[in-house]
């Protein structure tokens, strides 16, 4: 059975309920209430599971990472996350650091990645990966921001941009530091809402390839994921 257009009463009730729950109504909520009510219901559940319930990040960590994602995506409408960042202890000084990290990630393909892939041999003993890691460490030094939180943000931002090299290097750095794999998973999941499902698929595939190739040593649950042979698109 095909979807129908909601009645005026249903539309008003859906939008009133959404406003009562969230305190604001983004444009797509109205469209979904009118013509895609099942999608609105599913979206609400997905949004809550990804951004409102506590998964692996604390509320502060999650909103710290969100600041990087929304900046990278150019999504200025996400002011509710600005409020949540502030409400959970985020500061203007921390936002200065986040802005610098996003800028660093944005320039990575034409700087650190370029050197690593093409010119590093001409500038020995320069190590582009070590230089990249050092740049991130310097940005967060004396800020009070944990270095691993900066790397979770970088993983999320590189996922948002679709930077393969950046995703790889962020995962390498996090595994080298013994960081939390659940937080890595949350880092590449959050951009789904700002950048789309393909970014999540791509970053997950990169992570999967790194586990399978032995470039990182994952825990048993993640190795079970890597051992599953049926992963991939439909073969036709």
Is residue 143 located within the same domain as residue 188?
Answer: yes
Looking at the structure, tell me whether residues 190 and 88 fall in a common domain. yes
Sign of CA dihedral 228, 229, 232, 236: negative
Q: What pLDDT is recorded for position 232?
A: 84
Residues 176, 98: one domain? yes
- Residues 20-29: contacts with CB under 8 Å, at least 24 apart: 22/80, 23/80, 24/80, 26/77
Helix, coil or strand: residue 181: helix
Do 2 and 78 belong together in one domain?
Answer: no
pLDDT in tens, 161-208: 999 999 999 999 999 999 999 999 999 999 999 999 999 999 999 999
Distance (Å, whole) CA 179 – CA 187? 12
Domain annotation covers residue 21: yes
| Side-chain-side CA neighbours of residue 181 (13 Å) | 13
C-alpha atoms less than 13 angstroms from C-alpha of 54 in its C-beta half-sphere: 5
Report the C-alpha gap between 85 and 133 in whole angstroms.
25
Helix axes 147-161, 128-140, angle to 10 degrees: 120
Range of the domain at 41: 1-53
Please report whether residue 236 resides in a domain. no
Residue 150 lies in a domain: yes
Q: Who's near 163: CB < 8 A, 6+ residues apart?
A: 105, 108, 109, 113
At 62-87, the pLDDT tens digits run 999 999 999 999 999 999 999 999 99
In this structure, the answer to whether residues 151 and 37 fall within a common structural domain is no
pLDDT tens-digit map of 34-46: 999 999 999 999 9
Residue 235 lies in a domain: no
- Same domain for 118 and 220? yes
Q: Mind listing the pLDDT tens digit for each residue in 119-176?
A: 999 999 999 999 999 999 999 999 999 999 999 999 999 999 999 999 999 999 999 9
On whether both 44 and 79 belong to a single domain, the answer is no
- Co-location of 79 and 31 in the same domain: no
CA distances for 130 relative to 71, 120, 135, 223, 228, angstroms: 25, 12, 9, 27, 33
CATH number, position 200: 1.20.1290
Domain count, the chain: 2
Q: Decide: pTM greater than 0.85.
A: yes
- Helices 37-47 and 27-35 sit at what angle, rounded to 10 degrees? 140
**Residue 229: is its pLDDT beyond 80?**
no
Give the model confidence (pLDDT) of 76-118 as tens digits. 999 999 999 999 999 999 999 999 999 999 999 999 999 999 9
């Amino acid at each position: 059975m095909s979807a129908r257009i909601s009645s005026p009463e249903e539309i008003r009730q859906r939008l009133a309920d959404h406003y009562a729950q969230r305190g604001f109504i983004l444009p797509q909520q109205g469209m979904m209430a009118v013509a895609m009510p099942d999608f609105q219901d599913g979206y609400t559940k997905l949004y809550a599971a990804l951004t409102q319930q506590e998964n692996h990040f604390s509320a502060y960590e999650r909103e710290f990472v969100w600041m990087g994602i929304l900046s990278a995506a150019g999504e200025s409408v996400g002011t509710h996350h600005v409020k949540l960042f502030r409400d959970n202890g985020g500061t203007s000084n921390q936002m200065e650091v986040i802005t610098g990290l996003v800028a660093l990630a944005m320039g990575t393909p034409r700087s650190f990645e370029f050197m690593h892939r093409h010119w590093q041999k001409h500038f020995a003993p320069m190590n582009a990966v070590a230089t990249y890691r050092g740049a991130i460490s310097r940005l967060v030094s004396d800020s009070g921001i944990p270095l691993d939180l900066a790397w979770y943000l970088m993983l999320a931002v590189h996922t948002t941009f679709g930077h393969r090299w950046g995703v790889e290097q962020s995962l390498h750095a996090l595994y080298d530091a013994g960081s939390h794999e659940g937080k890595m998973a949350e880092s590449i999941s959050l951009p789904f809402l700002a950048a789309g499902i393909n970014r999540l698929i791509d970053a997950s595939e990169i992570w999967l390839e790194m586990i399978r190739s032995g470039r990182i040593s994952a825990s048993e649950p993640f190795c079970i994921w890597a051992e599953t042979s049926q992963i991939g698109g439909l073969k036709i």
